[in-house]
Structure 1
């Protein structure tokens, strides 16, 4: 199986960031920086982001123990095992996705089309990663999970701030990718 390199992942996230900046420049009203920096003060956003990240880590460890053999879990592990998760790659991929995806979906698109449509687009953006080909129980469960997480990111960005959403997204991905890395090694 050919593994997807970290460079490709970083390039995709960089392209998302560029697209986000283009959307913001052409479709948002100035001042642009003020709209991106809206929300609670930065130190609160960072604290809330870290708190959510720690809670997610605990919940994912418990959830994985109970659902390690489910079809959705096995499929997610198989899908993400295609990534090169050697060394620090899960961290770099997670930071890039947290920043790039949140800048595009929450910073650029959400103010224009709302949380719900943005979350639907977020699911569509993840169809290749999760191998959503056809509609079955596994696809429905995973798509519903991604949609729910996206809605949460949307509310966090709206009511707490974009930096908090970026941090929560990055920490969620770090936890997920290191869990997948460990599971793939075991099995």
Structure 2
């Protein structure tokens, strides 16, 4: 693991603020009022929260099982390396996940998807994650991860469309929290014991 300076919370929150600001601009310029009502559309909020948390728990269980079989896969190693650049100390995985879940879902599902549709929005979502996942060429690892990010985006898009944006935000934050804590655990295993 590299000893380069970690990407901190300030940068993560700045990205969330930029995404949220861009989302607000798009919503105010291209969506019809009432803005808040359209963002909160869908199932009642308590159903959205329950579905979001339920899917998050299912993802945690699937991750625990899947990781046993994919721990040494190139995509897994690459994901750990990519997200290992973040400052995952303390409760940072939770804060990073909440920021990403809110900012990205507000922009991609709340602002862009109603205008561009689910397919184009998911393609833009993949492009937005190019740097995070180090999509730096066309090989099997990049293709596998890009398809995975696209599929996750499609799933979040469908959740936002049929359940509601709040559920998509909770699912996104839950998935990221689980993933970042797994990365944090892997980094801890790689560090020399003192």
After TM superposition, the score normalised by the length of structure 2 is 0.96
* 1:33 Cα deviation after fit: 1.0
User: 1:27: which partner in 2?
Assistant: 30
Hey, what does 2:106 align to over in structure 1? 103
Q: 1:137 aligns with which of 137, 140, 143?
A: 140
Partner of residue 126, structure 1:
129
- Which whole-Å deviations, capped at 9, do the CAs of 1:71-122 have from their partners, x for residues lacking one? 0000000000000000010000000000000000000000000000000000
* Divergent runs of 4+, >6 A: none
**Gapped regions of structure 2 (runs ≥ 5):** none
CA RMSD of aligned residues (A): 0.5
Show CA shifts across 1:154-176 (max 9, x none): 00000000000000000000000
**What's the counterpart of residue 157 of structure 2?**
154
Q: Distance in 1 between matches of 2:25 and 2:68?
A: 43
**Alpha-carbon distance, 1:181 to partner:** 0.3
Unaligned runs of 5+ in 1: none
In 2, the alpha carbon distance for the partners of 1:9 and 1:3 equals 11
